[in-house]
Structure 1
């Protein structure tokens, strides 16, 4: 019974650490990615807008 409790404690701690690690990685990726506003100001367009402009005969919003 004690072994089971210790094992559950270890697994629970491991899951918490893993979740925190994923959240930190996502936060760092969000901070390092350029914002869409700065892309529009600098004249760069996201690929989605370019794809819509190239495939305008179908209508971008018709999907």
Structure 2
């Protein structure tokens, strides 16, 4: 988890873990498309949309 004193003061643990997972996912998608030459299919995009919705709910101030 990319938690450090600066990050943890601004974000909580759940938000830091979410940031880490989004960064990992973006890097892996780029690697899969450009290096492994895999296709980005519609069902993957739907899954990414749901993950982005999770990010919205985690970072939304209620």
Instruction: Give the structure-1-normalised TM-score.
Output: 0.38
Larger Rg: 1
Instruction: Give the structure-2-normalised TM-score.
Output: 0.39
Q: Whose relative contact order is higher, 1 or 2, with alpha carbons under 8 Å and at least 6 apart?
A: 2
